[in-house]
């Protein structure tokens, strides 16, 4: 499968579909082809029976230092409108399986936006986050002003968006962007360990929990609660619900099949 990719590497390991950004010489600057490859790999893993959890990380000394400035430099408003690549990017938001980011070094601009599309984020102790777009005379365009603001609130988000300064990993954790800070050499090991915990759970529960939690960003509390309830009912149509409850009563570990 990897042969089709130029700027990423992929691997399936213990039910975890792993994507590694792979332009280390330019700190994994995200060019258009890389966006296409990331979305293609996410969608492939989302459909694959062999994969339960998705993980994204970067090769070299950074997760990603943003979009490829050399590629963007000659863009104009009309060519961007016609290309409309954000439609492709938005498909990341439709991935049903959980996505865990394992980030380190620089997580900037489009790299930060990619990290913010992850459901959970593990970060190495050397990670720096930021939106330097303002220093280039532009602004985030792939969700930076929207997703960051929803997670950390407008006041704190605007400080980072206005100044373009970098936030260290401790602050990112305190702000709720990062789940765990891990020593750099243990980043992949610890993230994979956590991914395996999620992979051991009934996949339909995980799928519908993610689906419902995402609605909390868009729906009123009442609408969100109604939506959650339908997903709760739906799980009673699954074999894993029968198995999970029976296993509890029989005092044995459940054997989930994903059905």
What are residue 106's phi and psi, to 5 degrees? Answer: -85, 135
* The residue count for the chain: 259
Q: Smallest Cα–Cα separation from 129: which of 99, 182, 173, 98?
A: 173
Please, what is the minimum distance in Å from the beta carbon of residue 116 to ligand DAK? 11
- Say which of 111, 123, 133, 228 is annotated catalytic: 133
- Say which of 17, 37, 113, 192 is annotated catalytic: 113
Strand, coil or helix: 19: strand
Q: Is the separation of the CB atoms in 207 and 258 below 8 Å?
A: no
Clarify whether 157 is annotated catalytic: no
Please, what is the minimum distance in Å from the beta carbon of residue 202 to ligand DAK? 34
Q: Pick between residue 86 and residue 162 the one whose CB is nearest to ligand DAK.
A: 86
Token pair, residue 232, equals 């709760």
Q: Pick between residue 141 and residue 244 the one whose CB is nearest to ligand DAK.
A: 141
Q: Pick between residue 25 and residue 50 the one whose CB is nearest to ligand DAK.
A: 25
The conformation of residue 200, written as its DSSP 8-state character, comes to T
Q: What is the DSSP string of 157-195?
A: HHHHHHH--EEEHHHHHHTTS-SEEE-GGGHHHHHHHHH
Element at 103 (helix H, strand E):
strand 99-103
- Say which of 29, 62, 65, 67 is annotated catalytic: 67
Closest CB to ligand DAK: residue number:
109
Please, what is the minimum distance in Å from the beta carbon of residue 136 to ligand DAK? 6
Q: Pick between residue 132 and residue 203 the one whose CB is nearest to ligand DAK.
A: 132
Please, what is the minimum distance in Å from the beta carbon of residue 70 to ligand DAK? 5
Clarify whether 223 is annotated catalytic: no
Clarify whether 250 is annotated catalytic: no
- Say which of 17, 66, 110, 130 is annotated catalytic: 110
Q: Smallest Cα–Cα separation from 160: which of 169, 149, 150, 170?
A: 149
Q: Pick between residue 136 and residue 209 the one whose CB is nearest to ligand DAK.
A: 136
Cβ atoms within 10 Å, residue 143: 21
Q: Smallest Cα–Cα separation from 75: which of 104, 44, 32?
A: 32
Return residues touching ligand DAK (CB under 6 A): 26-27, 29, 35, 65-70, 85-86, 89, 106, 108-110, 113, 132-133, 136, 141-142
Please, what is the minimum distance in Å from the beta carbon of residue 140 to ligand DAK? 7
Q: What is the DSSP string of 65-90?
A: -SB-HHHHTT--HHHHHHH-THHHHH
Clarify whether 143 is annotated catalytic: no
- Give me the active site residues, please: 67, 110, 113, 133
């Amino acid at each position: 499968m990897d042969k089709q990719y130029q700027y990423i590497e992929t691997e399936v390991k213990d039910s975890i579909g792993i994507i590694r950004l792979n332009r280390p010489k330019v700190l994994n600057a995200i060019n258009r082809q890389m966006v296409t490859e990331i979305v293609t790999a996410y969608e492939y893993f989302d459909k694959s029976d062999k994969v339960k959890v998705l993980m994204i990380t970067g090769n070299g000394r950074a997760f990603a230092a943003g979009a490829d400035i050399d590629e963007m430099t000659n863009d104009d408003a009309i060519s961007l409108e016609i290309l409309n690549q954000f439609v492709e990017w938005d498909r990341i938001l439709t991935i049903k399986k959980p996505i865990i980011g394992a980030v380190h070094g620089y997580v900037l601009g489009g790299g930060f936006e990619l990290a913010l599309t992850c459901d959970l984020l593990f970060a190495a102790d050397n990670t720096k986050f930021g939106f330097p777009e303002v220093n280039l005379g532009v602004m985030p365009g792939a969700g930076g002003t929207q997703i960051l603001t929803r997670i950390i609130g407008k006041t704190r988000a605007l400080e980072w968006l206005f100044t373009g300064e970098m936030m260290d990993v401790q602050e990112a954790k305190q702000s709720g962007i990062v789940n765990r800070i891990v020593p750099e050499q243990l980043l992949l090991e610890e993230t994979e360990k956590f991914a395996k915990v999620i992979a051991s759970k009934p996949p339909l529960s995980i799928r519908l929990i993610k689906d419902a939690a995402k609605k909390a960003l868009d729906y009123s509390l009442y609408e969100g609660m109604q939506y959650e309830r339908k997903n709760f009912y739906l799980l009673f149509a699954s074999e894993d619900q029968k198995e999970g409850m029976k296993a509890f009563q029989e005092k044995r570990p459940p054997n989930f099949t994903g059905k």
